[in-house]
Amino acid sequence: MILFHGSILKIERPLAHVGREHLDFGRGFYLTKIEEQAYGWAKKVKIIKKSNTAIINIFDFDYQTTINAGYKFLCMDEYNKEWLDFITNSRKGLKPWSGYDFIEGGVANDRVIDTVEDYMIGRITAEQALGQLKYAKPNHQICILNQEIIDKYLKFIGSKELI
């Protein structure tokens, strides 16, 4: 599976336990199969970090072999109650991702975050949130939380600098 990571750096040897803890799926190395999504993230990080570069790193992830090897993974391929509760618990610092080796699912990005936050603070119910989210097409992310998976099953292919 070809995956992309948007950054301001060329990342040939990713680390699993770098970054902020209260992200969607915890502190890990985030990738996506949607190149345009990685492109947007690289541009956003470039602005935030006041960098001169934005880079798309390209990897080959041996997804099925990783699953077959017995690593603990979670796949949430739609915006449903499981995803909604997982994201809100992550953002509350409850670490629902603890114990997983990698997680796949939609991103709580600008298109859906208002709904997620309204649910988090109790402004709307889960049913109301899911009613709003059913119109949002899930995007994609994989978070690898286990360094061994990165070392064994994620191969750096190359990178390209964006203009």
Q: Are 42 and 55 in contact (CB under 8 A)?
A: yes
d(CA 103, CA 81): 16
Q: Are 47 and 7 in contact (CB under 8 A)?
A: no
Cβ burial 30-39 (10 Å sphere, 16+ → b, else e): bbbbeeebbb
Q: Is 125 exposed, middle or buried (0-12, 13-18, 19+ CB in 10 A)?
A: exposed
3-state helix, strand, coil in the chain (%, to 5): 35, 25, 45
Express each pLDDT in 82-128 by its tens digit.
Answer: 999 999 999 899 999 999 999 999 888 777 888 999 999 999 999 99
Which pLDDT belongs to residue 9? 94
Residue 19 has pLDDT above 80, yes or no: no
Which pLDDT belongs to residue 78? 87
Q: Hey, CA dihedral for 72, 77, 81, 86, is it positive or negative?
A: positive
Residue 39 has pLDDT above 90, yes or no: yes
CA distances from 162 to 12, 29, 46 (A): 17, 21, 10
Could you give the strand order of the β-sheet that contains 73-76, starting from the edge strand earlier in sequence? 29-31, 141-144, 102-105, 73-76
Token pair in block for residue 111: 């298109």
Q: Hey, CA dihedral for 67, 62, 103, 21, is it positive or negative?
A: positive
